[in-house]
Amino acid sequence: MLILASASSTRKALLHKAGLHFAVHPATLDERTLEQDALNAGGDARDIALLLARFKAETVSASHPGDLVIGADQTLALGLELLHKPATPDDAAAQLDHLRGKTHRLHAAVTLVRDGQLLWSDLQTAELTMRDFSMEERTSIMKLEGKALLNSVGSYRLEGPSIRLFETITGDYFTILGLPLLPLLAALRDIAPDLLNFQD
């Protein structure tokens, strides 16, 4: 069986659209503590994305012997600063204002684990530059997006009205959504081609 160790509705939708059969078993981790430990050890945003993706997959794998588990995580870096999902609309507004007119990077990691063993991992990076948008534009976009922004690191959704806030984007669309899908599908073809059977 193929298992997704993530509660992300976006990752779930991407795998469904790719025609995969899988179960969803989100991992429970203290992500901020793991992140801080990695930073203390000299890690950066890329390292943290890979670490969390692997830990998620290993955690779920421990209770699902024999199954192939997908772990995924994404970090947002503005220079050396790490940003996280906003807790409130005010936090989202402040985060958007902080990103305005600047370039940030999204690092998306994905891993495959079976019986606690890391079989494969990959990390992709996208670079995004926001426009120097006005306060009125930001307020309007936030109204259009609603509470969906609270589920997104960076407080925006490129698949929604937030796309209006951007000037340039470099990188794979699936990476921006938090799951490097093409490398994952290539790995599945090599490791477990039987799991790529299409849904009915």
Question: Could you tell me the CATH number of the domain that includes residue 20?
Answer: 3.90.950.10
Distance CA 155, CA 139 (A): 12
**Is the predicted pLDDT of residue 199 greater than 60, yes or no?**
no
Predicted pLDDT at 194? 86
Mean pLDDT within 143-168? 92
Predicted pLDDT at 193? 87
Q: Is 97 among the catalytic positions?
A: no
- Bridge partners for 136 per DSSP: none
Q: Which range marks the domain in which residue 39 is found?
A: 2-196
Output the CA torsion 27→33→38→44 (10° steps): 90
Q: How confident is the model at residue 34 (pLDDT cuts 50, 70, 90)?
A: confident
Number of structural domains found in the chain = 1
Active-site position among 73, 115, 172, 200: 73
pTM assigned to the model? 0.90
